[in-house]
Structure 1
Amino acid sequence: MGGLAPSVEALPLPGAAEATTPLGGVQVGRGLVTPATSRGGRATRDAARWRPSLFDILLAGVVAALSLYSFMERASLFFDTPDGPVQATLPDVRGAVQVLAGSVALVWRRSAPGLVLAVTVALAVTRDAEHYPVTPLPYVVLVAMYTVAQRWPLRRSGVAVVVTSLCLGAGAVMLLDPALDDEPFVEVVAVVTAWALGRGVQSRQVRSQLLEERAALLEASALQRSHEQAALSELAVARERASLARELHDVVASNVSVIVAQAAAARLRPGAPVEHSQSMATVESLGRQTLDDLRHLVGVLHTSPEDGMTPRALPRLEELGPLVDRVTSAGSPVTLTVTGVWRELAPAVELNAYRIVQESLTNVLKHAPGVAVRVSLDYGSDLLHIVVTDTGTGSDATSSGGSGLFGMRQRAALVGGFLHAGPGPNGGWVVDARIPIGTQTAPRGDG
């Protein structure tokens, strides 16, 4: 009766990690107790399942010592019965073996909690039936009941505690009179208390695991939301680019198309002077080229896959010939000179170098129409040198306040080079660009 506190202190309190260990065909995981379903590697799992832990071995030793001491200490007790005082059966080897057997069974309490509980209850009831001294508390049964409550689901453990209480109470009544002794009542209360402790530990473990899973779910949800926001941002950018492409096409392409149509009509007008027809042809050609470049830009900006737009290839230096011909036909004769080994360069270098020459020739048509232009390309071992020289006055290129020169400098800087533009020493205007190229690719076959 006074031994209740020591027995509770001796009960094991497994860690939370044990809540997911398969025991007796069940698993505690994700806040539920579910049947174990994995069948692969059964032999390995069974071997590990029946391997006792050091803690359980030490616990069994402590419980065995405590039970044997109580068993021996009560050997000389007399119990009051309606027929008078009766001395219990004296301790002997057989009774001691029963006590030790129940204690040794606790070594496998995690592996087979139900079986261990059945063995300990059967041994306790057997000792009561044989009129062995009743211990202050059934220590082995309490530990086994705690383990069952901590490992089994509520319904199964509830049935186990009811059956165990009835069995121990009936066994104690065989030897004691409930009207004179409170031993049966104490045993039942102790068993129920051990069951409640086990249920509390299981609830705490399940709650901790649920909190961990909830934290993991919240983290996964936050990560998913960040991915969704990134996707929405990309979609918004794509839509903005598509809208910009449509606006660019609607505003510029319409006007340029009208210019091309009017130039074509003026070129075909009967009785028009030859020079006038050639100028209109040049305007028409440049307008169509502008429309092609505009469609290319729209194709780059417009990323909607349903449009089926395939951007044309980016212009390269090998296309300078048609550009020179167009400018020459517009009235400004152009001479193109290439030195060094003409080879294919990086796409960015090819594009920006082409645009620098194109912008330089456009400036000539705008500010000094009709003057002669010389374009020089020098392919060095690690440098592309571009020089565009005209024979104009050298004063109109900077007077319009346009952004052509600034754009050319940006293009040269974009590929690691630099550009200088200004009046030439002998008059006219000079654009001098130097772009590093390194050893990009093999020489062209037509060099």
Structure 2
Amino acid sequence: MTGLGRPAYDPGMPAPVPPPPLKRLPPSAWTVLVWCASTLFTLLTTVRLPGETEPGRWPAAQLYRWDGLTMTVLSTALAVYGARLLGRRPLGGLAALIVAAIGETSTLGVGELPMAQYLTVMVGLYFVAAARPRRTSAAALALAVGTLAVFIAVRLLRGWAVGMSAELAVALVTVIAWLLGHSAHQAREHARRMNERSAAQAVTAERLRIAREMHDTVAHSIGIVALQAGAAARVAATQPEAAREAMRAVEATGRETLAGLRRMLVALRAADAGEPGAGDRAAAEGAEAGVAGLDDVDRLAAATTSAGVRVEVRRLGEPRRLPPDVDLSAFRIIQESVTNVVRHSGAPSCLVTVDYGEDVLALEVTDDGRGHGTATDTGFGLAGMRERVALLHGEFSAAPRPEGGFRVAARLPVPAEAS
């Protein structure tokens, strides 16, 4: 089937939303941008800006000596390397950013690690805390704050001047950056757990829906069995051939119902065991209750046509009686596909093709609409159709057509005893 290799898009689900502008750049790019901005800010402090009587800081070796310029270049290269290393080895990348900050500070002739030079470390610490487990983020915080403590201790032991108040402010902002990142990490984990819970609830709801439909199917079959058995009992003495025919119908109906139940139970157990293709569920089906089948497709087409979207039904092969579970799932797939055409495609018509093969039932619903969807309250969509097809061990595809519009296709195997 065409379209199996392409990512399927569900017209019944919201259109993809691009990420916010601040999330379109990776953490490494933001870290490098912050380093460049802080370096530029440091250079601007050596220039008398409008409204100032003198520069905020007099130029040190960073601007007018070769060793200062060399250290600035090396520190920048180390900062870029550390930013790229954050994703693979967060502690190593943060350590590189700290060394780069110390290296650039050494050319300024100051008694502390200034806020501007340590800002890149704070940004790196935020990304580590936001993306890594708490143990790793706590080690990163200890590394960042511990470096400040060691820097102050070394200067005190050597009897050098120390900007204690400025360094305490840097330490405080560093802790705040870690807290913000840790909070973002917790929020992401909470959202992930809520999504997993919603997915689990959707799986349960869908299986309950399928179970109710199977109950209706079995109840319908048992009703037929009861009627045929009663008829056989009444004519057993006077019309033995008619009684035998009724009992053969009872046997066929019973075997068919048991086969459908067996296929359903095996598929559900496979899904519980985590077998590939068992199907993930995103929502429960909101279709009408009751036993339905391919015999109702014409009624569905007529109702949809009266609503303004012409539905053409084309049948190929020789129509025949199908197992109840296959018949019901085929109708539900066509029903949801046609519903999506009406709600989201904008197409004036669609084509429904039902192909009765020897051992497979092929379904196809195509339209020439926009080929994309909008936000909707539908609860079925591709996820539900794929779940039904997977439970019957079939094949499913859904994707925009190259010539325009959208195509949903499914192949449902038909057991040999039903062929």
Greater relative contact order: 1 or 2 (C-alpha under 8 angstroms, separation 6 or more)? 2
Check whether TM > 0.5. Answer: no
TM-score (norm 1): 0.40
Larger radius of gyration: 1
TM-score (norm 2): 0.42
